[in-house]
Amino acid sequence: MKKILIVKTGGTYADYAAERGDFVDWTAQGMRLACDRWVSVDAQAGEPLPAPEEFAGGVITGSHDMVTDGFGWIDDAKAWIRRAVDARLPLLGICFGHQLMADALGGRAGYHPDGLEIGTTDVTLTEAAGDDPIFRDLPRTFPGHVTHSQTALELPSGATLLATGAHDPHQSFRVSEAAWGVQFHPEFDAPAILEYIARRELELAEQGLDAARIRTTVRDTPESASLLERFAAYCLSR
């Protein structure tokens, strides 16, 4: 049976990763995958991305880098995304991965005009989500953890908008049959987003945002988290 590939485009803070594991670990745990059912490739470090046909599915992680940074590895990852979609590999891009997919497939990523979004926000599904393989049966509105300065400013031509939010109109989209992007973080739990709020408190103050108020938004996000397991089940059932 083919494995699921986790494309590492970045990681959490090094000291926090030493304590709790990194984005790839949180993602694999969220998908409920045994250690022999997934592999990770560090695209950010320049590791070559393998042929999409070798895998049952792929997840593109979040990152502290920005899609517009212009690094060579980002261009390489975009090219791989296009190959993966052409090969009909199921994909799930998370936060940076969501923005990268939008940018790679004909949309546009960039800084959100209203600045940083962080905390736990309401994600509202569109009508199209009712027929989507991984979003159907979820509540119309559910909480999701967010921490991002950039966003998918424009979706690719022909993309299906699946979810929106008060700050970000593009909380999720799907391209083609099975390539999804989610701006929110299904792999984060409440302690993780609280850690990010604490570490970005100075940045929040500089933008006129109240970290104490933002902390009051934080709550558990079981519906958001379930998308990882739903995506894995979809990949492994094909």
Among candidate residues 98, 167, 170, 185, the one labeled active-site is 185
Q: Which of 81, 88, 85 is nearest to 104 (CA)?
A: 81
Instruction: Please confirm, yes or no, whether 187 is among the known catalytic residues.
Output: yes
Residue 37 CB neighbour total at 10 angstroms: 16
Among candidate residues 95, 145, 148, 235, the one labeled active-site is 95
Instruction: Please confirm, yes or no, whether 185 is among the known catalytic residues.
Output: yes
* Alpha-carbon distances, residue 230 vs 41, 50, 131, 170 (angstroms): 22, 24, 14, 20
Q: Which of 189, 157, 195 is nearest to 176 (CA)?
A: 157
Token pair, residue 192, equals: 């993780």
Residues with a known catalytic role: 95, 185, 187
